[in-house]
Structure formats: structure tokens, C-alpha cells
Amino acid sequence: MVLQAPPIKTAPTITWEALPADFVLPDDPVENIQQPSLAAALTDALGAAGLIQPTMLIGSNFALVATVNKKIVVKAPDWFYVPQVHPVAEGIIRRSYTPSLEGSPIAIVMEFLSETDGSELSVRSSPPYGKLYFYEQILQVPTYVTFDPYEPSLEVRCLQMGEYTLQKPDDLGRVWIPELELFLGIWSGARLSQTNNWLRWWDKAGNLLLWSSEQTEQERQRAEQEHQRAEQERQRADVLAAKLRELGIDPSTLT
């Protein structure tokens, strides 16, 4: 009997090249109907807190590009964050992002799980690459988040020594995201008439980052309270003025 040693896997050759203009991007349907709302809520809270800068790139279902062994590979995560990108020429619409070529590496990637397997936790190292393998070994994204809104469950993996390590949440079930210096956790409630399990941000002090709709409602309540206080002051002034007139005193002479 002849024993054969298993083939030695060579590291993939990765280059950063612009996506060709005629490259046809995948147009797969969204399997998780909550996905667009989940992604929009994450971005909305950052914007409402003034944490989004013009040099950043934040997107959803947007093509992230790498050339692996001379073949273009594209993944479109449910949400991602790049801290700094090069500006595009006026009139040009950005249709993809290639790290190194177009700006800094991708800092955070999120995938929202659906009822069918979308390879979010796949380590398949040959085409079609599993998403976990692609983000860990090809793009080398520092923080990879997977969220199942139906369980609900949240898993955060951080790149350590070239491999993802699952992070332990704190006592409140939140995980520190160093790239944004914020906590990420699950919050159950309503947004824009949708009652769901949402991913939300908290700052270092534990304060929830409000959505723009919540800020608007907060301002409305504050204005209503100010109006009520002003009305109460007016009513007290009217009562005092009436008492002064009963005493034969003209209130206008006291001002």
C-alpha cells in the first residue's frame, strides 16, 4: 500500500484591482425581509449622533472586491463600515469598493442570518468562498458580526493572530466594537411601525444612541413640556392678577 501525503494548500494570491466597468454584479434577492431595515437603523443612529464623516463609507448590500488567484471575488455584506475612502470624481457613482486601492481596509462587516444558509459562517476556502473565510482570510476585516433577529442572537468575532475569535458579551449582552468605540447589542421594540429585534449602539457610558425618529419625538415632547410650563405660568399670573384687582390694585402698576 502506498501512502500519499495530503496536498499542501498554498496561500491564495490576493491583489487589489478596480472592478471592471462591464462586471455584472450579483443581484440576489434579500432573503431576510428585515435586512434593509436593520441596516438602515444602524446607520441612522450613527448619523443622528453626528458620528458619520464625509470620508467614511457605510453601506448595505454593496460590492466589496478582491482579486484572488487572478479571479475577481465579490461579496455584498448586509452592513459594512470603512473609516476612510478616497473621494470619487464628480458625477461618478461608486458601485463597489476595493480596499487598499480606494481607501483604508474595511473595519466592520455584518451579516444578518435568514432561514436558509447564506454561508455566513462558512470557512470554505475555494470558490465560491465562504463568507467567514473571505472576511477573515481575504479581506482580513477586524470585526465580523453575525445577527439572527429571529432567535435573537448576536455573535461578534474579532481578528486575532490572523483568525477570528468569538467575543464574550458583557453582563448586559453587549459587545464592545473598538473600530467605532461603541457597544453593540440587541434591543427589542418598535421603529417606524415595525416591532422587531434590532441591533443598536451604546456609548462608553452606556447611553443608547437614538434614532433620528426618536430624537424628533424627544424634541417634540420637550417642546410640549415647555409649552405646558409656559401655560401654567400664564395661568398663575392670571390668577394673581385677578386677586390683585379684588384688592383694588392695578397689576399693570406693579411692572
Domain-wise residue ranges, the chain: 14-210, 217-254
**Whole-number pLDDT of residue 28:** 66
Residue 244 pLDDT: 81
Specify the fold of 14-210.
tt1808, chain A (3.90.1570)
Segment 31-45, tens digit of pLDDT: 667 899 999 999 999
Q: Which of 185, 192, 188 is nearest to 214 (CA)?
A: 192
pLDDT tens-digit series, residues 64-91: 999 999 999 999 999 999 999 999 888 8
Grid cell of 203 as nine digits? 456609548
Q: What pLDDT score does 189 carry?
A: 96
Q: What is the pTM of this model?
A: 0.87
pLDDT computed for residue 191 by the predictor: 93
Write the pLDDT tens digit of every residue in 178-195.
Answer: 999 999 999 999 998 889
Contact 45, 209 (CB under 8 A): yes
Task: State yes or no: pLDDT of 6 exceeds 60.
Answer: no
The yes-or-no verdict on residue 241 having pLDDT over 90 is no
pLDDT band at 2 (very low <50, low <70, confident <90, very high): very low
Q: What is the pLDDT of residue 249?
A: 85
